């Protein structure tokens, strides 16, 4: 029995991580950096989403940016309508500034009909609507997509290619719908999240806490989810879908469920990102971004939720520190490329793997053994 298999080690590791991100504002009082770290915590949440679908379900989604992007745009639409750039367009109702630039001469300055299709923005005047849609739309789309893919028993690399093509498709549609979405420029000059009359300036410590607490909750819930029986059955479908079917499980149902949960987390992350970064852009749906998420998860450890989360935060924090000069930034990109090749070749379990081996080494040195899932005392020589 290896010590790293013990549930207590996980409880300890998750506890330490959550304590660290919650206590960070006590030692870091630079609001600029705190805001940056908040964004990287959001990327950490994306790491969790990737590890859940890739590590536990064996589904590599190369289009996770689609759900992140949708989540971001949904809340950004609401925050755009709350911004002064929308409120001061000579009408008593908010109208995004870019719509005026695109409107036909003489079109009414009203969301109903300033540009074709602009009525779709109307419900987003309520901030809660945008926030709810940030999760609901990714859930609906991922559910439909996953049902189609997994009912047809598409698997492996083909799922990766389909999701990749889909995010590129969505990106093009988003850019093409320029009068509605401001195309390449994305949604900028957004208002602040306002809850019960309190405005959450992205540089406030309170805004950092919204994100840190959200990440902690998502991390713990996702960890609990995979240790349920359903989580175990999901892992079984990853190992041998045929055997799972012959045991009576409808494999597609499990794949659809976890694919959708992963998309919901990504959508939620998109929403949080907009609250911290004050913009939404089609670059969220760039191929580079979706693959970067996978890179973070792989470096952190693809089959460890916490590892993937820490991988994302670590890589982005180092990248931000390196971005002081352009030369450093370009060199760092090269280093990341190299690290990534090395991780795939020599460290398939990522940083989490190093962590587990260290824990096991301590366990062996100290003669501590974990308690197994079976709860049985096994003959140690046979278990080796």
Partner 1 sequence: MADILFIGLSLSSILLLIALGLAITYGAMGVINMAHGELVMIGAYTAVLSGIYLNFNMFVALPLAFFTAAAVGLLIEKLVIRRLYGRIIDTLLATWGVAILLQQAIRLQFGATFFDVTVPGLGPGLQNIDVPSFLNKPFDVAGFTVQPYRTFIIAVTLILAALTWYLFYRTRIGMQVRAIMRNPDMAASCGIDVRRVSALTFAYGSGLAGVAGVLLAGFKTVQPDMGAAVVVDGFLVVVVGGVGSLLGTGLAALLLGQINGIVAVLSNDIVARAVVFGVVIVLIMWRPQGLFSFKNR
Partner 2 sequence: MANPALIIDGLSVDFGGFKAVDGFSTVIDDGELRVVLGPNGAGKTTMMDLITGNTRSTGGTVTMYGKDITNHAEHEIARAGLGRKFQIPSVFRDLTVFENFEVAVTKQQGVFGNLRFGLRASEKEKLDQIIELTQTSDVIDKRAGDLSHGQMQWLELGMLIAQDSRVILLDEPTAGMTQGETYRTSQIIKALKGQHTIIVVEHDMAFVREIAEKITVMHLGKMLAEGRMDVIENDPKVQDAYLGSGGIH
Which one, 20 or 247, has the nearer CB to partner 2? Answer: 247
3-state SS class at 198: strand
| Tokens coding 142 | 């991922």
Q: How does 257-295 read in b/e, with b if 16+ C-beta sit within 10 Å?
A: bbbbbbbbbbbbbbbbbbbbbbbbbbebbbeebbebbbb
- Smallest gap from Cβ 327 to partner 1, in A, equals 7
251 makes contact, choosing from partner 1, partner 2, none, with CB < 5 to 8 Å by partner type, with partner 2
Whichever of 3 and 298 has its CB closer to partner 1, that residue is 298
Region class of 197: left (phi > 0), else alpha (psi between -120 and 50), else beta: left
Which among partner 1, partner 2, none contacts residue 219 (Cβ within 5 to 8 A by kind)?
none
Query: Among 15, 108, 116, 337, which residue sits at the site for partner 1 (rule: CB under 8 A)?
Result: 337
Q: Considering CB under 8 A, how many residues would be counted as binding partner 1? A: 41
Rank residues 24 and 218 by Cβ distance to partner 2 and give the closer one: 218
Binding mask 82-121 toward partner 1 (x if CB under 8 A, else -) reads ----------------------------------------
Rounded to a whole number of angstroms, the minimum distance from the CB of residue 146 to partner 2 is 12
291 binds, among partner 1, partner 2, none (CB under 5 to 8 A by kind): partner 1
Site map 269..298 versus partner 1, x via CB under 8 A: ------------------xx--x--xx--x
| Alpha-carbon gap, residue 291 to 203, rounded angstroms | 29
Q: Calculate ∠ Cα 309-315-317, nearest 5°.
A: 100
Binder of residue 112, out of partner 2, partner 1, none (CB less than 5 to 8 A by kind): none
Site residues, partner 2 (CB under 8 A) = 1, 5, 225, 227-230, 232-233, 235-236, 238-240, 242-251, 253-254, 257, 372-374, 376, 378-379, 382-383
Q: Which does 235 bind (CB under 5 to 8 A by kind): partner 2, partner 1, none?
A: partner 2
**Based on CB atoms, which residue is closest to partner 2, 229 or 365?**
229
Phi, psi of 200 (to 5 degrees): -100, 85
Q: How far is CA 370 from CA 123, 202, 343, in A?
A: 53, 43, 28
Q: Is 345 in the site for partner 1 (CB under 8 A)?
A: yes
247 binds, among partner 2, partner 1, none (CB under 5 to 8 A by kind): partner 2
Residue 173: name its binding partner from partner 2, partner 1, none (Cβ under 5 to 8 Å by kind).
partner 1
CB 251 within 8 A of CB 245: yes
Q: What is the DSSP string of 149-197?
A: HHHTT--THHHHHHHHHHHHHHHHHHHH-HHHH-GGG-B-S---EEETT
Q: How far is the CB of 6 from partner 2 (least distance, A)?
A: 11
Asked whether 72 and 270 are in contact (CB, 8 A), the reply is: yes
210 touching partner 1, by CB under 8 A: no
Count CA within 13 A, CB hemisphere, residue 181.
Answer: 21
The number of angstroms, rounded, from the C-alpha of 60 to the middle of its chain's C-alpha atoms is 14
Q: Do 75 and 134 meet the contact criterion of CB atoms below 8 Å apart?
A: yes
Residue 287: name its binding partner from partner 2, partner 1, none (Cβ under 5 to 8 Å by kind). partner 1
Q: Residues 142 to 171: which contact partner 1 by CB under 8 A? A: 148-149, 152, 154-158, 160-162, 164-166, 168-169
Q: Please state, in angstroms and rounded to a whole number, the distance separating the CA atoms of residues 167 and 163.
A: 6
Residue pair 263/138 in contact (Cβ under 8 Å)? The answer is: yes
Q: Which helix (H) or strand (E) holds 199?
A: strand 198-200
**Cα 13 from chain centroid?**
21
CB-nearer residue toward partner 2: 338 or 377: 377
Q: Residue 228: which of partner 2, partner 1, none does it interact with, CB under 5 to 8 A by kind?
A: partner 2
Question: Contact positions toward partner 1, by CB under 8 A?
Answer: 60, 148-149, 152, 154-158, 160-162, 164-166, 168-169, 172-173, 175-176, 287-288, 291, 294-295, 298, 327, 330-331, 333-334, 336-341, 344-345, 348
């Amino acid at each position: 029995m290896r010590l790293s298999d013990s549930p207590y080690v996980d409880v300890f590791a998750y506890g330490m991580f959550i304590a660290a991100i919650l206590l960070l504002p006590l030692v870091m009082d630079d609001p600029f950096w705190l805001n940056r770290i908040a964004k990287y915590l959001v990327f950490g949440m994306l790491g969790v989403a990737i590890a859940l679908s890739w590590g536990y379900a064996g589904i590599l989604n190369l289009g996770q940016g689609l759900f992140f992007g949708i989540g971001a745009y949904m809340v950004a639409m609401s925050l755009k309508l709350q911004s002064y750039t929308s409120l001061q367009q000579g009408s008593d109702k908010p109208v995004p500034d870019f719509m005026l630039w695109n409107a036909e001469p003489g079109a009414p300055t009203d969301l109903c009909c300033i540009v074709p299709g602009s009525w779709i923005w109307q419900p987003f005047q309520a901030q809660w609507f945008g926030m709810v849609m940030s999760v609901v739309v990714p859930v609906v789309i991922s559910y439909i997509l996953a049902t189609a893919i997994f009912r047809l028993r598409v698997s492996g690399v083909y799922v990766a290619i389909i999701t990749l093509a889909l995010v590129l498709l969505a990106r093009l549609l988003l850019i093409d719908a320029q009068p509605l979405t401001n195309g390449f420029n994305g949604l900028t000059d957004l208002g602040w999240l306002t809850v019960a009359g309190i405005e959450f300036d992205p540089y406030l410590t309170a805004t950092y806490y919204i994100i840190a607490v959200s990440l902690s909750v998502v991390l713990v819930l996702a960890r609990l989810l995979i240790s349920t029986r359903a989580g175990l059955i999901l892992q079984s479908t990853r190992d041998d879908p045929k055997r799972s079917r012959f045991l009576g499980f409808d494999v597609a149902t499990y794949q659809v469920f976890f694919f959708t949960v992963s998309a919901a987390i990504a959508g939620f992350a998109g929403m949080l990102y907009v609250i911290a970064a004050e913009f939404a852009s089609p670059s969220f749906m760039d191929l580079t971004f979706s693959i970067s998420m996978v890179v973070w998860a792989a470096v952190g450890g693809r089959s460890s939720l916490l590892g993937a989360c820490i991988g994302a935060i670590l890589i982005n924090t180092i990248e931000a520190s390196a971005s002081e000069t352009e030369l450093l930034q370009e060199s760092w990109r090269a280093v990341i490329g190299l690290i990534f090749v090395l991780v795939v070749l020599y460290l398939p379990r990522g940083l989490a793997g190093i962590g587990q081996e260290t824990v096991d080494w301590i366990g062996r040195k100290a003669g501590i053994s974990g308690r197994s899932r079976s709860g049985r005392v096994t003959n140690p020589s046979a278990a080796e």
